[in-house]
Structure 1
């Protein structure tokens, strides 16, 4: 606990030193005055490990700050849990999170100076420079969706498939929802799979279907169906390594109480499958738990 409190205090000091603001209305006034957008980081510096990683690996790094400062007024809203906030400050933070429908931490919003959100993201396994580039690309693409949608409506065949993939890429960049229907349209417009993006889209649809079916099996407590779906997914090389890694982790968790050796085997295989994924840290933690007597 002391470690998290120390990191929280350190984070606040660094935030102030790097020009971060904590008062959103004041930040909006400054953004309007200086002709910049808002970068709002919803964080939990004394309890949220991914928030701490985002700060340490990206948001606090000079190369990130140098790249974004002239484009955004930086705002950090810290939702502490282990150190109580004044009642009025907590109420203000709660109102802001409700306004923007914040469902998890960390969440990063890009907003116009009046506070209108146009892009949403969070922790990404990127370098500080690459993370900044992604934000600047989202800022440059603000307001392009109607034009991209028109291109989809006005085209047919391979051109429409390319337009659909461009729309999907845009929604991915902006953190907007990418519906199953939109992905299916992109696949249907390129039935021969001539575009690399179509192959990726088929993969995503297959992964979505397995995830939904697994969720239903979990709800029904159907262990036989669950194991069958996991085995089928692991055997399908079309699925991404990260997705199959997740399937192995899911199977390992089911063995934790009854087959610790089997759980360890699955976790070792999961780590080998995608050794650079963001899930490796969690896998290592689970392996350490299994090593305990």
Structure 2
């Protein structure tokens, strides 16, 4: 739950729908079978590009597909480094019960709460980067993927170097590689490496044990927040987040991700508060991945605010003459993708 949901904001303004119907993605080059994809990646020495998408309802998913995934430049270049995996959570498209359950399990495993989310992982399925929609078309997106892929290359180089080291020096090399990954990813997918660092760094001079302990507390917090949100105790929800940040002395991207949790209780009537929250998130660490996401969300919020203002200025006659599709809403599924 270190990521965040935009369900309330996504449904706030009908004008944000980018398309009513999604074009069909060519099956060639993509697979829905995650286990088979890992086997192929291991055999061919490639990474995994996993697209968590809502192909027939999510406007930004559709936009990413139209502008990037269907373009020849992407289709010819991306498969050189990645096995492409599509995990779809549609509202209208039929899927087998088995596929739905498998996708939901992977959504939970990878901590996906917003669409589209693109996960880059190694052949073992261990994620090392997350991204989403990016402007600029296929060339810009491929460049972006290359930059993210460098995280895995640097990670592997550090792991290889660590094999030849001993003691605290070995711990430092492993910890440096893990430092570039999200804390929740490290806790869930890099347990072996984390345990080794903690065993070698008995005084916790590198702080990895503290981070792991914080991750455990975060999991407990998430359950508490879920209960508060479900019961409508929104002020208590936000206050609990602030207290956790203060108690755990969170900094950097960990603090940003915790602040992002507030979006879960920000509906269409709190666009101004959401706008200010994004500024607060960015200010913590402007060059982080979470800051990039916050900037993109802020742009979307600005669009929403403008649309709301325009709607408020319209006369009843103008509203009644509006095209029918303006009344449709982009509804996000639940966390399980149902």
Which bracket does the TM-score occupy, shorter chain normalised? 0.5 to 0.7
Answer whether contact 1:249 1:267 (CA < 8 A) is retained.
Answer: no
Rounded Cα–Cα distance in structure 1 between residues aligned with 2:87 and 2:144: 23
Answer whether contact 2:241 2:258 (CA < 8 A) is retained.
Answer: no
Q: Do the aligned partners of residues 5 and 239 (structure 1) sit closer, same or farther apart at CA in structure 2, a change above 3 Å counting?
A: same
Rounded Cα–Cα distance in structure 2 between residues aligned with 1:192 and 1:59: 44
1:243 to 255, 260, 263: 255
Answer whether contact 1:183 1:205 (CA < 8 A) is retained.
Answer: no
Q: Do the aligned partners of residues 118 and 44 (structure 1) sit closer, same or farther apart at CA in structure 2, a change above 3 Å counting?
A: same
Q: Do the aligned partners of residues 277 and 186 (structure 1) sit closer, same or farther apart at CA in structure 2, a change above 3 Å counting?
A: farther
Tell me the residue number matched to 1:55. Answer: 65
Deviations 1:123-154 (A, max 9, x none): 34775213145448758988x99x769849x7
Deviation at 1:77, TM superposition (A): 5.9
Rounded Cα–Cα distance in structure 2 between residues aligned with 1:272 and 1:107: 24
Tell me the residue number matched to 1:45. Answer: 55
Note if 1:267 corresponds to 2:274.
yes
Rounded Cα–Cα distance in structure 1 between residues aligned with 2:80 and 2:72: 13
Q: Do the aligned partners of residues 149 and 162 (structure 1) sit closer, same or farther apart at CA in structure 2, a change above 3 Å counting?
A: closer
Q: Do the aligned partners of residues 71 and 239 (structure 1) sit closer, same or farther apart at CA in structure 2, a change above 3 Å counting?
A: closer
Note if 1:20 corresponds to 2:29.
yes
Deviation at 1:273, TM superposition (A): 2.1
Deviation at 1:290, TM superposition (A): 8.4
Tell me the residue number matched to 1:182. Answer: 194
Rounded Cα–Cα distance in structure 1 between residues aligned with 2:274 and 2:170: 43
Rounded Cα–Cα distance in structure 2 between residues aligned with 1:235 and 1:245: 16
1:118 to 120, 125, 148: 125
Q: Do the aligned partners of residues 140 and 62 (structure 1) sit closer, same or farther apart at CA in structure 2, a change above 3 Å counting?
A: farther
Q: Secondary structure at the match of 2:29?
A: coil
Rounded Cα–Cα distance in structure 1 between residues aligned with 2:193 and 2:49: 31
Q: Do the aligned partners of residues 5 and 240 (structure 1) sit closer, same or farther apart at CA in structure 2, a change above 3 Å counting?
A: same
Deviation at 1:46, TM superposition (A): 0.8
Alignment length (residue pairs): 260
Rounded Cα–Cα distance in structure 1 between residues aligned with 2:122 and 2:237: 44
Rounded Cα–Cα distance in structure 2 between residues aligned with 1:123 and 1:140: 18
Q: Secondary structure at the match of 2:125?
A: strand
Mark the runs of 5 or more structure 1 residues left unpaired by the alignment.
none
Deviation at 1:69, TM superposition (A): 3.1
| Correspondences of 1:107-186 after superposition (within 5 Å) | 118-120=125-127, 123-124=131-132, 128=141, 129-135=143-149, 138=152, 151=163, 155-166=166-177, 177-178=189-190, 182=194, 185-186=197-198
Rounded Cα–Cα distance in structure 2 between residues aligned with 1:137 and 1:280: 22
Deviation at 1:227, TM superposition (A): 1.6
| Greater relative contact order (CA < 8 Å, ≥ 6 in sequence) | 2
Q: Secondary structure at the match of 1:278?
A: helix
Answer whether contact 2:225 2:237 (CA < 8 A) is retained.
Answer: yes
Tell me the residue number matched to 1:278. Answer: 293
RMSD of Structure 2 on Structure 1 (CA):
5.8
Deviations 1:35-70 (A, max 9, x none): 575756453311235533543565456664454333
Q: Which is greater in Rg?
A: 1
Deviation at 1:231, TM superposition (A): 5.1
Rounded Cα–Cα distance in structure 1 between residues aligned with 2:122 and 2:169: 34
Query: Which sits farther off after the overlay, 100-109 or 160-169?
Result: 100-109
Answer whether contact 1:41 1:77 (CA < 8 A) is retained.
Answer: yes
Note if 1:102 corresponds to 2:117.
no
Mark the runs of 5 or more structure 2 residues left unpaired by the alignment.
1-13, 135-139, 283-290, 313-338
